[in-house]
Amino acid sequence: MTKAPITKGLVALFGSAALLTACNSAQERAEDQREDAAEASAAASGSAIAALGLTEAQLLDADIIDASNRELGEVEGVVRGSGGQVEHLLVELEGSNPARTVQVPVAGLKPVKQGTDTDLSTTMTAEQLTALPDAAPAQR
């Protein structure tokens, strides 16, 4: 009789693990699709300046940093307005678990050259970035 509760417990445990794996796989597939779309968009825009004096590819390579050069997030994509101009960047927040992607307005960001890399400096704090709403699922 003690086998039934143990068996049910194991079934529930394995079922939960399978569900978690499926969710992670779906999330990973969605992230891969977003990255592929962002890279395709950057390739299509070529050497055209997208925002802040940078090409879309350069924006996608950038990290968001604070005034002390601490990384706050990584640019994952761009959001264009109705006129085609880049208005927001999709930024995956550093240290978020599960990973969170938020829309950061381009206004207020400043390119900072660091060796061969260009990052984007913000006056927003990590807490302010965390308080931003999640990017819409279609954008992530």
**Does the global pTM surpass 0.85?**
no
**Is the pLDDT confidence value at 56 over 50?**
yes
Q: Which residue has the higher pLDDT, 22 or 94?
A: 94
In a domain, residue 24? The reply is: no
In a domain, residue 101? The reply is: yes
Number of folded domains that form the chain: 1
Q: What are residue 53's phi and psi, to 5 degrees?
A: 75, 15
Q: Residue 64: give the domain boundaries.
A: 34-131
Q: What are residue 86's phi and psi, to 5 degrees?
A: -75, 120
In a domain, residue 49? The reply is: yes
CATH code, 94? 2.30.30.240
In a domain, residue 97? The reply is: yes
In a domain, residue 13? The reply is: no
In a domain, residue 125? The reply is: yes
